[in-house]
Amino acid sequence: MFGAAIRPWINPALDAAGCWPSMRGLTEDRVTVVGFGIGLGAAVSIALGHFGLGVVFILANRLADGLDGAFA
């Protein structure tokens, strides 16, 4: 929804951080799976009524998705 509007501001930081996973020996697939797990954590947290934790997980999921795109 807001991704296209804020993408020009966050792309430089994501591109710079995109090399971080490869330096740690991670593959694109592993970053994707970790992001998916974080997203599932968000869904479970919100379903259990832990909305603050759910928001943290959602933000972490979006970061993982952005890193995945920059890494790939």
Higher pLDDT, residue 1 or 2? 2
Percent of the chain's residues with pLDDT above 90: 39
- Residue 45 · residue 57 · CB < 8 Å: yes
> What is the C-alpha to C-alpha distance for residues 40 and 55, in angstroms, rounded to an integer?
12
Q: Over the stretch 6-20, which tens digit does the pLDDT of each residue have?
A: 666 666 666 666 666
Binning the chain into helix, strand and coil, the percentages to the nearest 5 are 85, 0, 15
| pLDDT tops 90 at residue 57 | yes
Q: Which two tokens stand for residue 56?
A: 């943290």
Domain that holds residue 33: 3-71
Domain count, the chain: 1
